[in-house]
Amino acid sequence: MVKTNEQAQTLYEQDYNLWLQKTIEQLRSRQLENLDRENLIDELEGINRSDKRALESLLTRLLEHFLKLIYWEKERDYKANKWQGEITTFRIQIKRLLKDSPSLKPYLVQIFDECYLDACKVVSRLMKCKINTLPEISIFTLEQALEENWFPDVQIKAEEE
C-alpha cells in the first residue's frame, strides 16, 4: 500500500491530468484503499478557495464599475455604456458561479463590505482623488448590485453617432 501511495504521489507531480483520471477511476470503482487522499483533499480545498477568490474578484469588479458610473462624472459621458456592459457581464458571471455553487451566496454577503472598500481604493486611484472622496459605506445594496436590470440613477448623455 505504501508503494502505491508513493506511485500516486509521483504521478500527481509528474502528470496531473493522468493522476486526475486515475483518481476518478478509483473513486468510481470504489478502490478507496489506493486513493491518493492527501493530494485529493488539497485539490478539493483548492477548488473551494478558487471559487471564493473568483467570487471576490467578480464582486469587486462589479462594484468598481458602479462607483465609476456614479462618481466619475468626467468620464461618464464617454464610458457609461461600456461600464454598463461590463456590469452586465460581471452579473452574468456571478450568477453562473452561484448557479453551480448556491452555497456561496452567503459568502457574498460576508465579503460585500470588504469588496466595496477594495473597489473604492481602485476607483479613487483611477479618478486621482483621495479615497475619502467616495462614501465609506455603499449607497447601494448587494441585492441591487446583483439585480439584472438595476443601474444607479445617474444622468448619462447619449453618445453621438
Q: What is the pLDDT of residues 57-81, one digit of tens each?
A: 999 999 999 999 999 999 999 999 9
Cβ–Cβ < 8 Å for 19, 11: yes
**Could you give the number of structural domains in the chain?**
1
pLDDT at 155 over 70: no
For residue 155, give Cα distances in angstroms to 36, 40, 52. 58, 52, 34
What's the grid cell of residue 69?
A: 458610473
Establish if 29 belongs to a structural domain. no
Q: What is the pLDDT of residues 19-38, one digit of tens each?
A: 889 999 999 999 989 888 88
Helix or strand or coil: residue 15? Answer: coil
pLDDT band, very low/low/confident/very high, at 6 (cuts 50, 70, 90)? low
Q: What is the pLDDT of residues 80-99, one digit of tens each?
A: 999 999 999 999 999 999 99
Establish if 119 belongs to a structural domain. yes
Establish if 19 belongs to a structural domain. no
Instruction: Classify 134 in phi/psi space as left (phi over 0), alpha (psi -120 to 50) or beta.
Output: beta
**Cα of 2 vs its chain's centroid, Å:** 39
Establish if 135 belongs to a structural domain. yes
Cβ–Cβ < 8 Å for 79, 68: yes
Establish if 137 belongs to a structural domain. yes
Measured in residues, the chain has a length of 161
Q: What is the pLDDT of residues 87-130, one digit of tens each?
A: 999 999 999 999 999 999 999 999 999 999 999 999 999 999 88
pTM score, whole prediction: 0.77
Establish if 124 belongs to a structural domain. yes
Range of the domain at 89: 52-161
Report how far apart the first and last C-alpha atoms of the chain are (Å, whole number): 71
